[in-house]
Amino acid sequence: MLDISGFLVAFMIVLFLVLIYVLNTMMYKPLMDFMQKRDKSIADDLSSINENDNEVQELESKAMQNISQAKNQAGELKASMIGKVKDELSKKFEVKKEFFEAEMNSFMETLAKKQESLKSELSSNLGQYKEAVEAKIKNI
């Protein structure tokens, strides 16, 4: 039947050990080195992503600070410009008001003079008006 040959068993053991050595050097070690390099590359990429996230957050906070500062400066500038415009307009308004008050005073003086002259003319001609009215009444 089947004989077990010591030489064949020893040869198979040696062949198995050689096969393990060859597979280890040609396949398993390069594969393990590749997997370690890949794991290291993934870890480096993750740390780089975390650093980039931190940088993005810092830049975003700086941008928000700049935006809020710009809004504050714009508000201050707007308020100062509105104040300046109001001051200029109030000055112009005062000048126009003084001008129209002077015109009104001049007109009132002229009106008062005309009123006085009309009163004096009416009082000087009162006799004539009285006679004219009496004559009209007699005619009726």
In a domain, 2, yes or no: no
Domain membership flag for residue 51? yes
Within a domain: 21: yes
Q: Could you tell me the residue range of the domain that residue 96 belongs to?
A: 8-139
Is pLDDT of 34 > 80?
yes
Specify if 63 maps to a domain: yes
Q: Is residue 25 one of the residues assigned to a domain?
A: yes
Instruction: Report residue 20's pLDDT band, with 50, 70 and 90 as the boundaries.
Output: very high
How many domains is the chain partitioned into structurally? Answer: 1
Q: Does residue 15 register a pLDDT over 90? A: yes
Sign of CA dihedral 116, 121, 125, 129: negative
Residue 1 lies in a domain: no
pTM to 2 decimals?
0.45
- Indicate whether 117 belongs to any domain: yes
